[in-house]
Amino acid sequence: MRIFLISFLVLLLSSCVDIWDDITLHADGSGTYKYTVNMSASKIKINSILALDSVDGKRIPKLPEIKEKIEYYRNKLEEKEGISNVKVESNYDDFIFKITLDFESVADLQNGIREIIKEEIKDKNDPALDENWLTWDGKTLTRVVPNFQSVIHKMNAEDQEKLKKGKYTCVSRFDKPILKCDNPQARISPTKVAGLIESNTYSVGTNPSLLKSTFVVSN
């Protein structure tokens, strides 16, 4: 399965990709998480890659394998404590994938995803697995984007340029008004209950701190 993950990453990072990273957080710490990957702008190239056996020595999975593994990971997430209503929408014509799930706490969300990653990767002691990308104390949410800088730097110049055309959008939604956000790039909605930070996918990949943010909401 690790080979599958690496191979799918080849497809993802060889494309112009838009990512929508969206969390709705309630005062009690429960909420809904949505993550959308849109590679429609590169669907012709993706189809050509899928027709190959390998790219740069990495095996490329066939479409039935991708469908099977996506369903496998959906089921695995559904089994994790504190995670429910896991839904995956897959569009294999335009290569748009969306996952939606409910969580009882941000700790449950992180632990569920972390446990699946640990099951799949070889280095179980990778320090990155212990990093928190979400913290919530009932009033303050801190978000960071996982660092995949090393993968970006291994890409050729052409693929790096494709990533510069894609957008990474990070959205945080709350029940109560936002009082402040420490990221100067954040745009707060007129209702004050949502904040949006956006950059191109390449920049986020090479400098994840661009989307790092701390939102403080009213009591």
- Write down the pLDDT at residue 52: 83
Residue 115: Cβ within 10 Å count: 16
Residue 7 has pLDDT above 50, yes or no: no
Using CB atoms within 10 Å of the CB of residue 51, give its burial: 0 to 12 exposed, 13 to 18 middle, 19+ buried.
Answer: exposed
- Write down the pLDDT at residue 155: 67
Instruction: Round to whole Å and give the CA distance between 201 and 87.
Output: 24
Instruction: Round to whole Å and give the CA distance between 64 and 107.
Output: 33
pLDDT in tens, 123-176: 566 666 677 889 999 999 999 876 655 555 566 677 677 777 888 899 999 999
- Write down the pLDDT at residue 4: 38
Confidence of residue 208 (pLDDT cuts 50, 70, 90): confident
Confidence of residue 41 (pLDDT cuts 50, 70, 90): confident
Instruction: Round to whole Å and give the CA distance between 214 and 219.
Output: 16
pLDDT in tens, 55-88: 777 778 888 888 888 898 899 999 999 999 999 9
Cβ neighbors of 139 (< 8 A, separation 6 or more) are 216, 217, 219
**Residue listed under structure tokens 């009213």:** 218
Residues 167, 200 contacting (CB under 8 angstroms): yes
Instruction: Round to whole Å and give the CA distance between 77 and 75.
Output: 5
In b/e form, how buried is each residue of 130-163, taking b as 16+ CB within 10 angstroms?
Answer: eeebbebeeeebbbbbebbeeebeebeeebeebb
| N-terminal to C-terminal alpha carbon distance within the chain | 45
